[in-house]
Structure 1
Amino acid sequence: MTKNRFYIFMIVGLLISNLLLVIFILKQKPPHHSGPRNLIIERLHFDEKQIQEYDILIQQHRIQIRQKEHELMDMKTQYYLLLKNKNQKKEDSLVQLIGKMSMETEKINFEHFQDIRKICHPDQLQDFDHLIDEFENLFNRPDKPPH
């Protein structure tokens, strides 16, 4: 076999393997991350009316949480700016406000789940209770790798 034929076979073989690799990658489905919305709908067996009500609750919840997150970020910014000039009284009051804001955020989340419970039919309440039992595992984000 001549050198040219050897190189032609090598090139054709590499092209075919690259083509197969591209096809394999394109055919793979991306991982399905449905998020809490779809998980709750599935676990509680919501009907169409409940899904519509739930979507409204989600919108309201997101608005409230975004507002609290902005307020919290502003407070944290003010807090860390105190590193420039030491003011113990201001420090303590900002820490208390940040704690209060975290409590308010948790109350918003708690009330959101109370509202979800309210749209459940009586036969779905047991499923809701099971969902709450698994709450920590279902809604915690997996640890991110260190930077």
Structure 2
Amino acid sequence: MIRPPRQRWLLVLVAILLLTNIATLSIYWIKKPNHDGGPGREPGNREKRMGQFMVDQMKFDATQEASYWKLRDSMITIQRPVMDSIRDAKKSFFDLLNQPDATDSALIARSNQIADLQKKLDLVTFRHFQNVRALCRPDQLQKFDTVIKEIVNRMTNFRRLSKGDSTGSR
């Protein structure tokens, strides 16, 4: 049989462990990054990181880097309104769900509008990368081609819920 003082010691130890766990979880929840626009998530931060990724990978000299940032800023200036238009067009498209009498022609018209805007965005992006490639010295071109493949892969790698379809089955 266990003596009462030893049981008290075990109770104190369990209480300490419980309080430590609660404190650890509280710190984790308080310090958890905010994915809704908190610090580090302000608009443009992703573009800056992607731009810096290109500069770092290509090892641009000072002149190339200055030219690159000008190209990137002008590309973003063109891209933002197009992306906003795509967002609005998609909202308009899915607003048709609220209309039980939505016709196929209305669906096709709105989806074509989205496709046209997406085409415009892709062309702006393509031209930007063409201009960036033109900044490269001959010794940087092979590295550029490798980096662009990685960037395009990131741009087109949509997250999947599972390896099967959306229901999780294969």
Range into which the TM-score falls when normalised by the shorter chain:
0.5 to 0.7
Alignment match, 1:113: 129
Given that residues 65 and 105 in structure 1 are in contact (C-alpha distance below 8 angstroms), is that contact kept between their aligned partners in structure 2?
A: yes
**Alpha-carbon offset, residue 133 of structure 1:** 3.6
Higher relative contact order (CA 8 A, sep 6+): 1
- How high is the TM-score relative to the length of structure 2? 0.59
Deviation at 1:88, TM superposition (A): 2.6
Q: CA deviation at 1:108?
A: 1.3
1:132–1:67 Cα change, 3 Å: same
Amino acid at match of 2:94: Y
Letter in 1 for 2:150: E
Counterparts of residues 1-147 of structure 1 (less than 5 Å): 35-83=49-97, 84=99, 85-137=101-153, 143=159
Consecutive unaligned residues in structure 1, runs of 5 or more = 1-16, 22-32
Q: Provide the aligned C-alpha RMSD in A.
A: 3.7
Task: Give identity over the alignment, percent.
Answer: 23
Asked if the contact 1:36–1:139 (Cα under 8 Å) also holds between the matched residues in 2, the reply is no
Alpha-carbon distance in structure 2 between the residues aligned to 1:44 and 1:104? 27
TM-score by length of 1: 0.67
1:144 and 1:57 mapped to 2: Cα distance? Answer: 32
* 1:122 Cα offset (Å): 1.9
Q: CA deviation at 1:136?
A: 4.3
Q: Which sections of structure 2, spanning at least 5 residues, go unmatched?
A: 1-19, 25-45, 162-170
Query: Matches of 1:137 and 1:81 in 2, distance apart?
Result: 31
Q: Rate the CA distance shift 1:144–1:93 in 2: closer, same or farther, 3 A.
A: closer
